[in-house]
Structure 1
Amino acid sequence: MRVACIVALGLPLAGCVAVQDAADQIAREQARGYVNGEVERRFPGVNAQPITDCVIDNASAQEIVAIAGGVALGRTEAATETVSTVLSRPETIRCAAEGSLRAGLF
């Protein structure tokens, strides 16, 4: 009986996790589009994809939401500031340099 109750309680949680994962993916994709445009604007002529990936990978969940939400609400200045914050982190810089070297950009 206990197992049945635990399993029954777990099913709604699994649904919540799936919804949360989907929402996270949507926010990440929206943020990715904005970050890619910012990277292209800041570094003309450079393949923005590896740098964009580093920004997304080094951004916290709150920062992803801030970027995506800022874009959705037309608050691009706040989104741009968040991108700048993540871009300036040593981990992001290191990741971008390594990604650019692998891609043959330098």
Structure 2
Amino acid sequence: MFRLIRHCLVGVALATLIGCSPQAQDQLARNAARSALTPVVSEQFPGVPLQPTLDCLIDNANAQQIRALAADAVLGPTESTFQIAKDIASKPETLRCLAVNGLPALLR
């Protein structure tokens, strides 16, 4: 039942996106992905500056990861959300971003 509700909600969200420009669709998906990642980052990385960390994760996620995270935003994070966050965070470019943007914010 839970899966059916989730699929219906994702379907409604996707139908809403159809009328948007590709840029608006991308921004909506990124915003939804950010909302799915927020509780994950807060839980998994307590004390880390939230906004710079979210920026680094979103900016280094691929399109498939953004879509999966956006779907997770509908009903909240799942185990998949945590795994995707871990995969993105382990990318060298994400680690560089965190070193440049996250650490200075932490040291303030």
Aligned residue in 1 for 2:45: 43
Correspondence list, 1:17-96, <5 A: 19-72=21-74, 76-96=78-98
Gaps of 5+ in 2: 1-17
Shift of 1:75: 6.4
Aligned residue in 2 for 1:99: 101
Question: Aligned partners of 2:94 and 2:32: how far apart in 1?
Answer: 19
Gaps of 5+ in 1: 1-15
**Over the residues paired in the alignment, what is the CA RMSD in angstroms?**
2.3
TM-score by length of 1: 0.72
Question: Aligned partners of 1:43 and 1:74: how far apart in 2?
Answer: 18
Question: Aligned partners of 2:80 and 2:106: how far apart in 1?
Answer: 32
Shift of 1:76: 1.8
Shift of 1:54: 0.4
- Higher relative CO (CA 8 A, sep ≥ 6), structure 1 or 2? 2
TM-score by length of 2: 0.71
